[in-house]
Chain A
Amino acid sequence: MNSLAINLKVNIFATIKTAQSFNKVTYYTVKFENEEYSEFEKFIIGHRNLSEIHNEYNDLMSLIKRLGNEIGALERYFSRKERKAEALPPEWNKLRPHERKLHIKYHHNLRLYCMRINDEVVFLFNGGIKTPGKITAQECKVVRQYFRMANKLASCIEEAMKDGEISFHGKRIEIEEDYELIL
């Protein structure tokens, strides 16, 4: 019997939101259509009250705040070497340098995926607690979904920047009021 495969490709829309603006860095996030919370809000809600990662969560939030207020989102605080060490999949290496800086340089199990644009602008997405051990983010059942979504979002943002739909002036983003990312 012949079978028919139907590819239902549904577009997902997301808007860009300011997550928090500090003296030196403005953090942006994205919010999917029909969802109550943005990606970074979901990260906070999911982790703020977990006693087993109290220090990891509070350290990570402190680092984001410290970079934002005092230091700036310097490249040295965002790593791709860590990713290489975790043997991320080959397609990762095909991405452009700033797409690859998707991961705050943080050597613990709590992962927050992000995209550093420059010293003044960073996108914060969602994340999770990576399974301990030498497995990649792709192999980890918990963070895999956040890792993939962060990749998709980063590609979309990169594309929009290339097309001139999104631009940055200092910490400020320039986009049309009703601009939506289409995934």
Chain B
Amino acid sequence: MSDLITNAFNEIDPRNERFIEKNTDIVEEIYALMEQHGVKSQKELAKLLGKKESEVSKLLTGIQNMTLRSITNLEVALGTDIILTASKAKVRFEHTNYMICYKQIQTSSHSEKTSTNEHFQIGKVSSFKLKIA
């Protein structure tokens, strides 16, 4: 591998790198939501949006500067949020499915055998402590 290329990737403007990271996160989220909602193609999504397929294709390049309006239009078309502010996300995901796993491993000094006790609990809480035994 050449140092010139490695350096070029290391020297990318962090603002652009962040922009592409956010942008591709949104695009990947849109594709995941399309799958969840049975929207099979960009053509179908374009139909839901009342736009041309080429316009939708352009939006989903991962590099296009999507406006808040185009994101919210997509949210309406897909019937769900694509992006959330941190505080709204906190409220929405305050009640989280959780699983607590207690695992106890005992090794007998007289033998090489190890005994393991495992206990699983699944439910819903506002907050929890993870106990590692």
B4: contacting residue among A37, A64, A65, CB under 8 A: A37
Stretch with Cβ within 8 A of A (4 or more), from B14-22, B77-85, B88-96, B116-124: B14-22
B residues less than 8 Å from A64 (CB atoms): 9
Q: A20-B1, A41-B2 are in contact. Are A59 and B8 (CB under 8 A)?
A: no
- How far apart sit A107 and B31, CA to CA, in the bound complex (Å)? 19
On chain B, the number of residues with a Cβ less than 8 Å from chain A's Cβ atoms is 27
A residues less than 8 Å from B16 (CB atoms): 55, 58-59, 61-62
Interface of A is mostly: helix
- Is A145 in contact with chain B by the CB < 8 A criterion? no
- Is B133 in contact with chain A by the CB < 8 A criterion? no
Is A81 in contact with B57, judged by CB distance below 8 angstroms? yes
- Is B61 in contact with chain A by the CB < 8 A criterion? yes
B residues less than 8 Å from A48 (CB atoms): 8, 11
Most interface-central of A17, A64, A66 (chain B CB within 10 A): A66
Tell me, rounded to whole Å, the shortest Cβ–Cβ distance linking A127 to chain B: 14
> What's the interface size class on A, roughly?
35 or more
- Is A161 in contact with chain B by the CB < 8 A criterion? no
A residues less than 8 Å from B72 (CB atoms): none
Is B5 in contact with A59, judged by CB distance below 8 angstroms? no
| Closest B residue to A107 using CB positions | B58
Within A6-24, the residues touching B (CB, 8 Å) are: 17-21
Is B2 in contact with A17, judged by CB distance below 8 angstroms? yes
Residue ranges of B at the interface with A (Cβ–Cβ < 8 Å): 1-2, 4-6, 8-9, 11-13, 15-17, 19-21, 24, 28, 31, 54, 57-58, 60-64
Residue ranges of A at the interface with B (Cβ–Cβ < 8 Å): 17-21, 37-38, 40-41, 44-45, 48, 54-55, 58-67, 70-71, 76-77, 79, 81-82, 85, 105-108
